[in-house]
């Protein structure tokens, strides 16, 4: 259930409350199908599923332990706040409110206390399902302002959180295959980043007042979940990936190249080829001006990396262009290449993608270290 153009125009502000009840990675199995065996068959299948689940939890204990200190809750709230801060078509209050207990009474208290014209409840879950990481965000928006109350499908004044009062309902899912102990942290970071991005993109697109047919489900999206944002919303949200004050790439002279902001309802003009200026020796800055004179192939010069990170950097050097490598002061890093990401919802620009994936897993701000064949890092 998308947000209608009428509701979008009437919203003055939205308060978001994100619920993440779990604090550890759940291990699950695909439920068996009892078919038409009746109640007895269903009970037998349920018992078998419980046994399979217990075995899976025991077998995947090393994967669970690898993310014990990941702090999914805080990272999810921070990522939503970051994405919402770049939405221009509707005022989404930031930072979002993080809660760990999700109950009808808790939601009612939060709703009654809110001074916004609408309240968005987002419940996020994450699990390891048979070699896959699955992150799901279920989102419901309820109105508080008079103009929005008139847009309820089946008004129930006695219970403001009744299903008939919902004005926006969306479920977004991210699935990452072939997850192991070595990449589970990265996979969780990609998942929370992706579902936050999908929600922000969907809400931002509604500002155009247009409706569009939904695109095909994203790669690996489980059948039966609500489809992701439309192709138009994905195109519009590409402009939200780079923070306004964060360069996504750097020119050879060290100056930032920033993404242009184009309103969703206007087609983005295609760039026209421009003659490239020739370097002038008299005004060229010396190499020392970059503040980091390391050679591209010198993995030991990359700051903050562990030995494993340096091995990842060396592997990145073998990858085709275009490519980008980002790193944070915590040692978190991301290596990307080509303009065809495995997940079609991610930015096609490797530099944008590297920053997005790195920031999703790091508490400190990530920066680009190298782009294509050039070190762009500044000390």
DSSP state string for 318-376: TSPSSEEEEE-TTS-EEEEESS--SSTTS-SSHHHHHHHHHHHH-SS--EEEEETTEE-
Q: Is residue 150 situated within a structural domain? A: yes
77 and 221: one domain? yes
Q: Is residue 272 situated within a structural domain? A: yes
Which 3 state secondary structure label does DSSP give 207? helix
Determine the pLDDT at residue 300: 93
Q: How many domains does the chain have?
A: 2
Give the separation between CA 128 and CA 170, rounded to whole angstroms: 22
Determine the pLDDT at residue 235: 46
233 and 255: one domain? no
Q: What is the pLDDT of residues 39-89, one digit of tens each?
A: 777 787 778 778 877 887 787 889 999 998 999 999 999 999 988 887 777
Q: Is residue 32 situated within a structural domain? A: no
102 and 185: one domain? yes
Q: Is residue 130 situated within a structural domain? A: yes
236 and 257: one domain? no
- Find tokens 């020796």 and name the residue: 281
225 and 116: one domain? yes
| Residue range of the domain that includes 304 | 249-375
Give the separation between CA 246 and CA 367, rounded to whole angstroms: 9
Question: What's the start-to-end Cα distance of the chain, in Å?
Answer: 48
Determine the pLDDT at residue 270: 55
SS3 letters for 72-126? HHHHHHHHHHHHHCCCCCCCECCCCEEECCCCHHHHHHHHHHCCCCEEEEEEEEE
Mean pLDDT for each consecutive 10-residue tract of the chain (379 residues)? 83 93 88 73 78 80 90 92 83 90 91 94 94 94 90 91 93 92 91 91 60 28 36 43 36 39 44 47 34 81 91 90 93 90 84 89 89 91
Last residue of a domain, one of 185, 213, 240: 240
Give the separation between CA 346 and CA 69, rounded to whole angstroms: 26
Last residue of a domain, one of 240, 268, 299: 240
99 and 212: one domain? yes
- Counting Cβ atoms within 10 Å, is residue 56 exposed (0-12), middle (13-18) or buried (19+)? middle
225 and 264: one domain? no
Q: What is the enclosing helix (H) or strand (E) of 10?
A: helix 5-10
Determine the pLDDT at residue 120: 96
Q: Is residue 121 situated within a structural domain? A: yes
Q: What is the pLDDT of residues 345-357, one digit of tens each?
A: 788 999 999 998 8
Q: Is residue 254 situated within a structural domain? A: yes
| Contact assessment for residue 54 and residue 87, using Cβ atoms and an 8 Å cutoff | no
Determine the pLDDT at residue 274: 53
135 and 253: one domain? no
236 and 253: one domain? no
Last residue of a domain, one of 191, 222, 240: 240
Determine the pLDDT at residue 292: 63
Q: Where would I find the beta strands (DSSP E) of 108-201?
A: 118-129, 132-143, 168-176
């Amino acid at each position: 259930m998308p947000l209608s153009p009428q509701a979008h125009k009437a919203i003055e502000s939205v308060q978001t409350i994100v619920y993440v009840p779990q604090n550890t990675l759940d291990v699950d199995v695909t439920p068996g199908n009892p078919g038409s065996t009746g109640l007895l068959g269903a009970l037998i299948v349920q018992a078998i599923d419980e046994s399979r689940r217990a075995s899976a939890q025991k077998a995947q204990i090393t994967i669970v332990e690898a993310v014990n200190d990941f702090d999914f809750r805080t990272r999810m709230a921070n990522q939503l706040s970051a994405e919402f801060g770049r939405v221009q078509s509707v005022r989404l209050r930031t930072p979002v409110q993080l809660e760990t207990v999700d109950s009808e009474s808790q939601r009612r208290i939060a709703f009654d206390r809110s001074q916004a014209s609408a309240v968005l409840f987002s419940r996020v879950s994450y699990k390891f399902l048979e070699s896959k990481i699955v992150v799901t965000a279920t989102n419901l928006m309820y109105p508080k302002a008079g103009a929005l109350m008139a847009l309820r499908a089946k008004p129930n004044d006695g219970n403001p959180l009744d299903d008939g009062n919902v004005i926006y309902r969306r479920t977004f899912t991210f699935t990452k295959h072939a997850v192991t102990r070595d990449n589970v942290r990265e996979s969780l970071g990609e998942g929370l980043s992706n579902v936050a991005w999908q929600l922000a993109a969907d809400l931002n697109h509604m500002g155009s007042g247009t409706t569009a047919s939904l695109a095909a489900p994203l790669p690996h999206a489980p059948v039966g979940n609500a489809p992701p944002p439309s192709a138009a919303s994905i195109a519009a949200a590409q402009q939200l990936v780079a923070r306004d004050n964060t360069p996504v790439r750097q020119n050879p002279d060290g100056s930032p190249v920033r993404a242009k902001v184009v309103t969703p309802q206007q087609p983005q003009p295609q760039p026209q080829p421009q003659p490239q200026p020739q370097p002038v020796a008299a005004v060229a800055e010396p190499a020392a001006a970059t503040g980091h004179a390391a050679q591209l192939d010198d993995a030991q010069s990359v700051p903050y990396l562990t030995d494993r990170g340096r091995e990842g950097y060396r592997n990145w050097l073998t990858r085709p262009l275009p490519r980008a490598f980002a790193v944070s002061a915590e040692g978190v890093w991301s290596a990307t290449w080509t303009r065809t990401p495995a997940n079609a919802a991610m930015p096609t620009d490797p530099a944008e993608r590297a920053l997005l994936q790195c920031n999703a897993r790091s508490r400190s701000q990530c920066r680009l270290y190298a782009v294509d064949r050039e070190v762009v890092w500044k000390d």
